Structure 1
């Protein structure tokens, strides 16, 4: 399962979805390798008239995208693309959210949408 975080500093979730300077992406592998990390800067998104569409294309393999804010139409487009947006307070540590998600994946109370993504 691939998860993205809208982040300018690589450590905290500190950005609005449509204006995030970068996305920190983590893949939960489900094996001893654990979590794989990749960063995608705004330059990787490219110039586009539709910033939301460009970000959706970039994040199309993700199951969840964390951000501080997201507009209603952008959230609807993410959901239609099979990506679930989650809003968290600005400054939330990425590592804390990774730990929460990892605990959730290991628990017997994993939400249906997460079970679907991890197979």
Structure 2
């Protein structure tokens, strides 16, 4: 599954979803964590709707997006796009969240994560 982290430092989760200038993207499975690099957000976006739409386009293949804050309408748009937003405290290390997610995938994932895994498997079939 592809996972995005709203981050300036690319080491910690330190950005609000709507204000994020870039996202660190990773592929996570129960066996492996692979960095796919950084996706920069377009600059000079006009309104809030445009910002959310451009971020949705950048993150459309991701299953989960971690951020420090996200507004209700933006969170709803992510969910409608089958992307699960997760808010975490600012400064949380990306590596810690990757390892936590990997452990969840390998052991007992919560229902929302099981649903994501099934959707991804259906896409690949």
Structure 2 residue runs of 5 or longer lacking an equivalent are none
Q: How much does 1:28 deviate?
A: 1.7
Q: Displacement of 1:74 after TM fit?
A: 0.4
Q: Structure 1 regions of 5+ residues with no counterpart?
A: none
Is 1:113 matched up with 2:108? no
Q: TM-score, normalised by structure 2?
A: 0.84
Q: Give the Cα–Cα distance (whole angstroms) in 2 for the partners of residues 99 and 61 of structure 1.
A: 20
Match of residue 57 from structure 2? 57
- Give the count of matched residue pairs: 114
TM-score by length of 1: 0.88
Instruction: Report the equivalent of 1:103.
Output: 103
CA deviation digits over 1:47-105, x for unaligned, max 9? 43311110011000111000000000000010001001000010000000001001001
Provide the aligned C-alpha RMSD in A: 1.5
In the TM superposition, residue 112 of structure 1 has moved relative to its aligned partner by: 2.7
Distance in 1 (CA, whole Å) between partners of 2:52 and 2:25 is 17
Distance 1:105 1:59 in 2: 21
Secondary structure at the aligned position of 1:48 is classed as coil
The 4+ residue runs of structure 1 with deviation greater than 4 A are: none
Task: Find the counterpart in structure 2 of residue 35 from structure 1.
Answer: 33
